[in-house]
């Protein structure tokens, strides 16, 4: 079971809310149950490790964007996304000289805050039936609800969310982020290429990153390659003349390149598969190129009794896929 100390650590990262209202000693190792917890985010049954694992498990979007960060509070309507570039020049040293000033040029784009919920509906009859099968009914419900939340967070990170009332994008995903350059269209898929042509494609992509980033990213840099799951399977199953898979050959050539296969890139329009090259560098004063911004990922609502059980909402909030350094990303489709 989850101890108070463990849950406090999770709460500090924004995974739960209202923990400050829990009233029992730090030394108490007991699991959190309905009888020893007092918070508006009340969790009725004991919080099993599997539920927390459901909430914290890395999804494809977390790996594609590199991280998930708490950047909003629940009441915030917008997040202001900074773009930073260095400005300034140096001058030769002299005791009586005044150097030219250096500063940061900062501009901001704003994005919305997409909040959504899933309902947990507990029924007394089902609870009794599950107990006959020796299955923790309340835990099963909570796991299913948090899984639905996690799936929607992942979907939004790739595809964004269109506000129903305005029919405009409230938050953007990686695939439709307006700050990114257009896709470079390839005439030949990985499947139709020879292994030499695949290697030539990767060399071309790295050259494009070098140019786009002003040589701040190169073949030795940390590069995240987010690739269509189908195209990734092709890289694994295509072999060189020495009997080594193209995937292994690429890893040996670009030792700091990591791969994230994603089914979300299997069709980015016109039945085209896509691949993204995301370079990571601290240049510009911001460490990350991309992240997924959120406010809450498991905000438990109030318990509402019903005639034969109860309901409880689980909510989350996200700013979608945030791109701090668009020039550090190049993308291709048709692979």
Q: Which of 4-8, 120-124, 292-296, 329-333 has the highest mean pLDDT?
A: 329-333
Give the pLDDT of residue 81.
82
pLDDT of 8 > 80? The answer is no
194 confidence band (pLDDT: 50, 70, 90)? very high
Structure confidence by residue, pLDDT tens digits, 89-141: 556 666 666 665 544 456 778 899 999 999 988 888 888 888 888 888 877 88
Quick one: pLDDT band at residue 245, thresholds 50, 70, 90? very high
271 falls in which pLDDT band (50, 70, 90)? confident
d(CA 166, CA 175): 21
Query: Are the CB atoms for 111 and 319 separated by under 8 Å?
Result: yes
pLDDT at position 127: 86
- pLDDT digits over 30-86, tens only? 344 433 333 333 343 445 566 666 666 778 999 999 999 999 999 999 998 876 554
Quick one: which of 326, 330, 323, 63 has its CA closest to 206?
A: 330
Radius of gyration of the chain (CA): 24
pLDDT bin (cut points 50, 70, 90) of residue 25 is very low
User: What pLDDT score was predicted for residue 120?
Assistant: 86
| Model confidence band, residue 201 (pLDDT cutoffs 50, 70, 90) | very high
* Residue 195 pLDDT level (bands cut at 50, 70, 90): very high
Q: Quick one: pLDDT band at residue 23, thresholds 50, 70, 90? A: very low
* Mutual angle of helices 49-56 and 137-159, in 10-degree steps: 0
Identify which has the larger pLDDT, 37 or 280: 280
Query: Which of 91-105, 183-197, 294-308 is predicted with the least confidence, judged by mean pLDDT?
Result: 91-105
pLDDT at 37: 36
Greater confidence (58 vs 247) lies with 247
The pLDDT value recorded for residue 31 is: 40
User: What is the per-residue pLDDT for 85?
Assistant: 55
Q: Report the C-alpha dihedral over residues 274, 81, 328, 280, rounded to 10 degrees.
A: -100
Please give the pLDDT value at position 135: 82
- Output the pTM of the full model: 0.80
How many CB atoms are located within 10 Å of the residue 69 CB? 16
- Which whole number is the average pLDDT over 232-246? 96
How much is the pLDDT for 46?
44
In whole angstroms, give the CA distance from residue 128 to residue 208: 61
- The mean-pLDDT minimum among 141-150, 177-186, 249-258, 315-324 falls in 141-150
- C-alpha 67/C-alpha 260 separation (Å) is 13
pLDDT averaged over every residue in the chain: 82
Domains in the chain and their CATH numbers? 1-47 (no CATH), 180-291+324-333 (3.30.2320.10)
């Amino acid at each position: 079971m989850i101890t108070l100390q463990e849950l406090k650590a999770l709460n500090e990262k924004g995974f739960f809310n209202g923990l400050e209202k829990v009233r029992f000693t730090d030394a108490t190792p007991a699991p959190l149950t309905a009888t020893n917890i007092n918070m508006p985010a009340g969790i009725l049954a004991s919080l099993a490790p599997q539920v927390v694992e459901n909430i914290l498990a890395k999804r494809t979007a977390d790996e594609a964007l590199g991280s998930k960060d708490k950047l909003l509070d629940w009441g915030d309507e917008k997040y202001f996304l900074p773009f930073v570039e260095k400005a300034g020049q140096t001058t030769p040293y002299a005791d009586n000289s005044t150097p030219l000033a250096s500063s940061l040029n900062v501009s901001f784009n704003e994005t919305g805050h997409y909040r959504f919920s899933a309902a947990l509906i507990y029924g007394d009859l089902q609870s009794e039936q599950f107990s006959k099968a020796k299955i923790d009914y309340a835990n099963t419900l909570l796991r299913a609800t948090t899984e639905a939340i996690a799936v929607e967070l992942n979907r939004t990170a790739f595809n964004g969310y269109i506000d129903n009332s305005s029919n405009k994008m409230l938050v953007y995903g990686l695939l439709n982020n307006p700050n990114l350059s257009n896709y470079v269209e390839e005439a030949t898929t990985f499947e139709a290429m020879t292994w030499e042509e695949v290697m030539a494609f990767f060399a071309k992509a790295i050259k494009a990153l070098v140019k786009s980033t002003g040589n701040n990213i190169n073949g030795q840099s940390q590069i995240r390659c987010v690739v269509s799951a189908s195209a990734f399977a092709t890289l694994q199953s295509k072999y060189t003349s020495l009997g080594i898979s193209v995937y292994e050959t690429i890893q040996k050539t670009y030792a700091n390149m990591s791969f994230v296969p994603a089914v979300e890139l299997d069709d980015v329009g016109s039945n085209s598969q896509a691949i993204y090259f995301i370079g990571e560098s601290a240049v510009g004063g911001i460490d990350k190129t991309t992240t997924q911004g959120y406010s809450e990922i498991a905000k438990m609502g109030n318990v509402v009794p019903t005639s034969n059980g109860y309901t409880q909402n689980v909510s989350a909030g996200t700013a979608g896929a945030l791109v701090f350094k668009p020039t550090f990303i190049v993308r291709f489709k048709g692979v």
